[in-house]
């Protein structure tokens, strides 16, 4: 951790001698560590790698003056104090500097010792103020965070109590119900105003279950942990109807009060009774069906799933699904709409069946699309008791349709840009041929012939883009990345370069020209890497997606060119290589960026979205 008494100073001035003088004076006067930069651009590069305490900058510098540098610093590093130290003393410069966040303005000139003593004083004041503000802001932030945590916890527990989906109540030691939620109102048939502080829980229990539950109420308070947490009982509602309830109950720590959760399982019991009548047939269908099957009660809670459904969602046993909402399988953004539609469908007299398509989520978080065909289950009285659904994975079809749509746009782009460049290069060819036919010196003639050859090579490369005329026209398919990368590398004649292939088990769902894209990346490394000795292809997980990395140890890509290399017309040849690579990957929703370090090697990172990759056993 940096000593609070030391101050790191970044001095920026295009006058090298003045820059050295400032560093010497400042380091002699105080516990300053001075780093120097001769331009604003060099200073920005240094700021990206080290958190300086203060910046001292000249105003008049080439490429970017002190005010523009100040604006950029405040945009990127708003908390770093900035002192303008310059020979420009115009009032408008001072005003503009202060308005844009400068801590102080100091004019050059006069006795150096006095001048730099004043500068050191300004630096100490600016840093001291910035550090004090930082500590104050941190303390305020901590207080706000603590207050927010308290509010969040209160809101959380209130929200859980009210929206948990089950009837909830708080019971006092004297058996009075002191708090009840809306679901408790619905289940009992009484409004809260008639329950809270007025009714005992014993008024809702059947005579058969009451003696045992009274004993458990006593034991729970006399010998904590001795009474069971879960059991069933029969509840009598306001209308006198009986409901079978699954109860979860325990004491609130440090009190004699208990909190209870009541789940009405009457419908589930009815559904189970109806299902037993045809259990043999259902078991056979569930066990042998290649399509996943799921059965729910009238609330959408899963009561049975087929082995094929377990396999589809990556579940190891039915216990991971039974008793949970069917809607948990649906992507969060679609759950509310699906819940409303499904529950409305179950309770409606028509239609008797529906078909829908939703994005679903496996246990491991991967996303896929499925068509869901559902029918209502009814008991002997035609009362809805649940729903039977058959799922079909249509991810490949959806991805193919989306890829074809994107491909149509990209095909038009390739056709237009390729024709435009070929016409331009033919004009260059014809022009230099015309000039070469005139009388000229051998040196000039050789220059013209060299330019003719360059233009001809470019036209040839442009014509080779015809290799991509099938871009997006074929159906995307699963392809093994390790095999593609290995084939591309071995076909380029690279005995002097090592190749690391970490993708033997990775397959991606993408356009058939994906292999051309990988080939192009490896070929680019060999052509432009200069003195590289290693190429590696590997992957790493990134949330629900994965990142496919193609990297080398060559000269790398300059920071200012990392995005330009993917643009049409950029490069030493046609500029089509990486442009086309990005287009190929984009067909199936992939993206590519260059994330390497200049001077250490190129690193191309391809983001492959969930649902477009899978892992297989390496051959």
The three-class DSSP label of residue 245 is strand
**Crossing angle for the helix pair 576-586 and 395-436, nearest 10 degrees?**
160
Superfamily of domain 7-136: Response regulator (3.40.50.2300)
Strands 534-542 and 498-501: parallel
Instruction: Calculate the CA dihedral of residues 137, 142, 148, 150 and round it to 10 degrees.
Output: -150
Asked if residues 57 and 66 have their Cβ atoms less than 8 Å apart, the reply is: yes
Nearest residue to 271 via CA among 241, 234, 307, 296? 296
Distance CA 391, CA 173 (A): 50
- Residue ranges of alpha helices (H) inside 77-111 are 91-99
Nearest residue to 60 via CA among 122, 127, 115, 107? 107
Burial class (CB in 10 A: 0-12, 13-18, 19+), 285: middle
Distance CA 40, CA 404 (A): 48
DSSP 503-519: -TTEEEEE-TTHHHHHH
Asked if residues 363 and 375 have their Cβ atoms less than 8 Å apart, the reply is: no
pLDDT reported for residue 392: 87
Residues whose CB falls within 8 Å of the CB of residue 135, separated by 6 or more in sequence, listed in order: none
pLDDT tens digit string along 232-254? 999 999 999 999 999 999 998 88
Residues whose CB falls within 8 Å of the CB of residue 565, separated by 6 or more in sequence, listed in order: 557, 571, 578, 594
Residues whose CB falls within 8 Å of the CB of residue 506, separated by 6 or more in sequence, listed in order: 480, 481, 482, 539, 546, 548, 613, 615
**Which residue has tokens 């009457």?**
266
351: cis peptide before it, omega within 30°?
yes
Distance CA 280, CA 275 (A): 9
Distance CA 459, CA 438 (A): 24
Asked if residues 494 and 531 have their Cβ atoms less than 8 Å apart, the reply is: no
pLDDT tens digit string along 546-600? 999 999 999 999 998 989 888 876 765 544 578 888 888 887 889 999 999 999 9
Sketch the domain layout of the chain as residue ranges: 7-136, 164-264, 274-393, 400-615
The three-class DSSP label of residue 343 is helix
Q: Which residues of the chain have pLDDT under 70?
A: 1-4, 88-89, 153-154, 156-157, 278, 282, 349-352, 401-429, 432, 434-439, 448, 450-473, 493-494, 569, 571-576, 618-619
User: Which tokens sit at 399?
Assistant: 């991805």
pLDDT reported for residue 443: 76
Best CATH choice for the domain 164-264 from the list 3.40.50.300, 3.30.450.20, 3.40.50.1820, 3.90.850.10 = 3.30.450.20
pLDDT reported for residue 1: 37
The three-class DSSP label of residue 90 is coil
The three-class DSSP label of residue 81 is coil
User: Which tokens sit at 362?
Assistant: 């496996």
Number of other CB atoms surrounding residue 568 within 10 Å: 19
Buried (b) or exposed (e) across 8-41, using 16+ Cβ within 10 A?
A: ebbbbbeeeebbeebbebbeebbebebebbbbbe
User: Which tokens sit at 4?
Assistant: 């609070």
Q: What is the DSSP letter of 348?
A: S
Best CATH choice for the domain 274-393 from the list 2.102.10.10, 1.20.1730.10, 1.10.10.10, 3.30.450.20 = 3.30.450.20
Distance CA 574, CA 414 (A): 13
- The DSSP H or E segment spanning 524 is helix 514-528
Nearest residue to 385 via CA among 470, 313, 296? 296
pLDDT reported for residue 63: 86
Asked if residues 325 and 348 have their Cβ atoms less than 8 Å apart, the reply is: no
- Same CATH fold, 400-615 and 274-393? no
400-615 carries CATH number 3.30.565.10:
yes
pLDDT reported for residue 250: 92
Asked if residues 132 and 103 have their Cβ atoms less than 8 Å apart, the reply is: no
């Amino acid at each position: 951790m940096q000593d609070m008494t030391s101050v790191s100073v970044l001095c920026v001035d295009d006058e090298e001698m003045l820059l050295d003088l400032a560093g010497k004076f400042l380091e002699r006067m105080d516990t300053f560590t001075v780093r120097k930069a001769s331009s604003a651009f060099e200073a920005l590069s240094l700021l990206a790698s080290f958190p300086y305490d203060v910046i001292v900058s000249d105003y008049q510098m080439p490429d970017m003056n002190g005010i523009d540098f100040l604006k950029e610093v405040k945009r990127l590093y708003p908390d770093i104090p900035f002192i303008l130290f310059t020979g420009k003393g115009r009032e408008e410069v001072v005003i503009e500097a202060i308005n844009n966040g400068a801590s102080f303005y100091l004019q050059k000139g006069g006795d150096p010792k006095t001048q730099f003593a004043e500068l050191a004083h300004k630096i100490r004041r600016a840093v001291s103020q910035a550090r004090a503000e930082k500590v104050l802001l941190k303390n305020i932030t901590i207080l706000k965070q603590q207050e927010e945590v308290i509010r969040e916890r209160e809101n959380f527990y209130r929200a859980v109590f009210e929206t948990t989906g089950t009837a909830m109540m708080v019971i006092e030691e004297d058996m009075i119900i002191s708090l009840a939620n809306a679901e408790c109102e619905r289940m009992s048939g009484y409004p809260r105003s008639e329950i809270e502080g007025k009714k005992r829980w014993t008024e809702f229990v059947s005579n058969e279950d009451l003696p045992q539950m009274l004993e458990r109420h006593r034991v729970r308070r006399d010998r904590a942990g001795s009474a069971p947490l879960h059991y069933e009982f029969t509840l009598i509602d306001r209308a006198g109807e009986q409901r079978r309830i699954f109860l979860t109950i325990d004491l609130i720590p440090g009190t004699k009060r208990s909190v209870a959760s009541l789940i009405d399982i009457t419908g589930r019991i009815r559904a189970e009774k109806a299902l037993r009548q045809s259990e043999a047939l259902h078991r056979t269908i569930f066990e042998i069906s290649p399509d996943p099957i799921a059965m729910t009660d009238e609330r959408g809670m899963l009561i049975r799933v087929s082995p094929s459904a377990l396999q589809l969602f990556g579940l190891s046993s039915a216990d991971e699904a039974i008793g949970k909402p069917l809607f948990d399988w649906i992507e969060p953004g679609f759950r509310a709409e699906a819940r409303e539609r499904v529950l409305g469908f179950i309770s409606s007299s028509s239609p008797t069946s529906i078909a829908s398509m939703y994005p679903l989520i496996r246990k491991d978080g991967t996303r896929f699309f499925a068509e869901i065909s559902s029918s209502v289950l009814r008991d002997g009285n035609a009362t809805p008791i649940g729903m039977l659904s058959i799922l079909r994975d249509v991810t490949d079809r959806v991805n193919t349709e989306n890829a074809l749509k994107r491909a149509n746009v990209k095909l038009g782009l390739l056709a237009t840009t390729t024709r435009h460049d070929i016409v331009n290069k033919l004009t260059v060819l014809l022009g230099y041929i015309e000039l070469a036919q005139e009388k000229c010196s051998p040196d000039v003639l050789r220059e013209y012939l060299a330019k003719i050859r360059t233009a001809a090579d470019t036209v040839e490369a442009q014509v080779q883009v015809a290799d991509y005329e099938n871009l997006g026209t074929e159906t995307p398919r699963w392809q093994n990345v390790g095999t593609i990368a290995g084939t591309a590398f071995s076909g380029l004649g690279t005995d002097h370069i090592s190749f690391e292939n970490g993708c033997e088990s990775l397959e991606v769902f993408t356009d058939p020209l994906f292999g051309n894209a990988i080939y192009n990346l490896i070929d680019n490394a060999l052509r432009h890497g200069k003195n590289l000795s290693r190429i590696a292809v590997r992957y790493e997980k990134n949330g629900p997606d994965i990142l496919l990395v193609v990297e080398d140890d060559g000269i790398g890509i300059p920071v200012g060119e990392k995005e330009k290399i993917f643009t049409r017309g950029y490069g030493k040849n046609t500029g089509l290589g990486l442009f086309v690579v990005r287009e190929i990957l984009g067909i199936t929703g992939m993206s590519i960026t260059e994330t390497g370090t200049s001077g250490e090697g190129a690193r191309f990172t391809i983001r492959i979205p969930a649902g477009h990759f899978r892992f297989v056993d390496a051959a």
